[in-house]
């Protein structure tokens, strides 16, 4: 039995969960998300809790059990609290600006790099920190990774775009002679 899958999901105040034919609609104060269901998984919504159970004990059902519970839990957290990822731009002369629905990065190239924000994602720049916010955990993480790929951190000086909690393993440079 999946340890994650058998935990009940608590529905917080102000969040509405509705089961549809092949998906579950989650509405909250920050927006709404649709989570796809699986035919091997049964969802029971009762008094502020959701129980995710397997229909049978096949391999597919066991694989999907914890996954579907986690996806539904992430949707509930997203519409109630939201998700954030914070990136830090490290380097002399490196800057980040948010102008409307675009992010402008000056990270050592001959030109500024502009990235358009997806529809459900917001961003905020504070000095050399860029905070990406949204209700879909997958979309927030994917967009943060896309921004990081513009200039990944390098191991010698630590320059580049890194997650705020990421530790860069440093390498020693050239030795100074004999």
Per residue in 58-77, pLDDT (tens digit) is 999 999 999 999 999 999 99
Q: Are 115 and 125 in contact (CB under 8 A)?
A: no
CA distances to 70, 80, 165 from 129, rounded to whole Å, are 29, 24, 12
CA distances to 90, 132, 149, 157 from 145, rounded to whole Å, are 16, 11, 6, 21
> CB under 8 Å to 115, separation ≥6 — which residues?
102, 103, 105, 146, 147, 150
Q: What 3-state class would DSSP assign to 100?
A: coil
Residue range 109-158, pLDDT digits in tens = 999 999 999 999 999 999 999 999 999 999 999 999 999 999 999 999 98
List beta partners, residue 19: 24
Around Cβ 33, how many Cβ atoms within 10 Å? 22
Residue range 80-98, pLDDT digits in tens = 999 999 999 999 999 999 9
pTM: 0.90
Q: What is the dotted CATH code of the domain comprising 83-163?
A: 3.90.930.12
CA distances to 82, 103, 171 from 108, rounded to whole Å, are 32, 16, 21
Domain 9-80 CATH assignment equals 3.90.930.12: yes
The domain locations on the chain are 9-80, 83-163
Say whether 83-163 and 9-80 share the same fold: yes
The sheet with strand 9-10 has its strands ordered as 9-10, 49-54, 41-46
């Amino acid at each position: 039995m999946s340890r994650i899958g058998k935990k009940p999901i608590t529905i917080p105040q102000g969040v509405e969960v509705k089961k549809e034919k092949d998906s579950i609609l989650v509405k909250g104060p920050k927006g709404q998300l649709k989570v796809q269901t699986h035919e091997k998984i049964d969802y029971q919504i009762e008094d502020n809790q959701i129980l995710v159970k397997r229909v049978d004990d096949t391999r597919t059902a066991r694989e999907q059990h914890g996954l579907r519970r986690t996806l539904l839990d992430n949707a509930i957290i997203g519409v109630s609290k939201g998700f954030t990822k914070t990136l830090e731009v490290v380097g002399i002369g490196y800057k980040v600006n948010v102008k409307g629905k675009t992010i402008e990065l000056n990270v050592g190239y001959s030109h500024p790099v502009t990235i358009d924000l997806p529809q459900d994602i917001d961003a905020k720049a504070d000095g050399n920190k860029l905070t990406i916010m949204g209700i879909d955990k997958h979309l927030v993480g994917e967009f943060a990774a896309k921004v990081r790929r513009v200039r990944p951190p390098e191991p010698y000086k630590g320059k580049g775009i890194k997650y705020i909690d990421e530790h860069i393993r440093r390498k020693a440079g050239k030795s100074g002679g004999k």
